[in-house]
Amino acid sequence: MSSIKNVAIIMDGNGRWAKQRHRPRVWGHVRGSNKVNEIVSESVALGLESLTLYAFSTENWSRPTDEVKNLFKLLKKFLSREKKNLIKNNIKFDVIGNYKVLDTSIVKIIDEIKVKTEKNTGMILSLAINYGGRAEIIDAVNKCLQKSEVNEITEQDITDNLYNPLVKNIDLLIRTAGDRRVSNFLLWQICYSEFFFTDTKWPDFSIEEYRNILNEVGGRDRRFGGIESGSNLKDNQKQANRNLKILS
């Protein structure tokens, strides 16, 4: 499992979980928000460098107005409840996406937690709120154009101007509730991610299943486009550079 250090999760299935139990969708979101704390705590215990959670996409605004309002009420409660734990557990907190359009009380809490945890040195916890992967790449390119006078933008330029450049490329993307798609999430950062799709809906996603997924994926042979395992990636890159010089 040591190779898996940066994890992203699409927390899907809250509404369907509630519907199966003949309860309103908001009940599923309440249970789902409680699950976040368990997975964050376990991620810290497992020594992850970063955990990025898809909380609200730019496309989620198309949901019923009451559901959207309830989602942000839950977000506000979650942030208020977990603020002390984030500080206590040395977690560096961030939000990726345009959260500034949200209610001012939510923006205030987010900014407060970001400031109070900015010097923390532990796991980076990023919540993707009002987030879209394409928008992030476009914004990064525009930042590059504003900052630089060069005619060519490099991969590193874009990486350095993403919403949270401290988060490295994602090692593992997990999606719950059965769908097999990435839904405009971290399109730049998942270029060499391992994917794991589980039928378990988010409110039922257990620490045991989480550990099993990390162990299973951690045992995969990640070659990053080469023929050797990830442990030899640097040597592969050196050889590739030598080959390019020969060909040129």
> What residues act catalytically?
12, 60
Q: Chain centroid to CA 174: how far?
A: 10
Q: Cβ-count burial of 155 within 10 angstroms (0-12 exposed, 13-18 middle, 19+ buried)?
A: exposed
Are residues 136 and 188 in contact, defined by beta-carbon separation less than 8 angstroms? yes
- Residues 143, 147, 148, 154: is their CA dihedral positive or negative? negative
At 7, is the secondary structure helix, strand, or coil?
strand
Comparing C-alpha atoms, which of 169, 163, 186, 207 is closest to residue 54? 186
Rounded CA-CA distance 4/8 in Å is 11
235 forms bridges with which residues in the sheet?
Answer: none
Instruction: Provide the residue count of the chain.
Output: 248
CA dist 32 and 19 (Å) reads 14
Closest CA to 51 of 162, 171, 212, 136: 171
Alpha-carbon distance 99 to 164, whole Å? 13
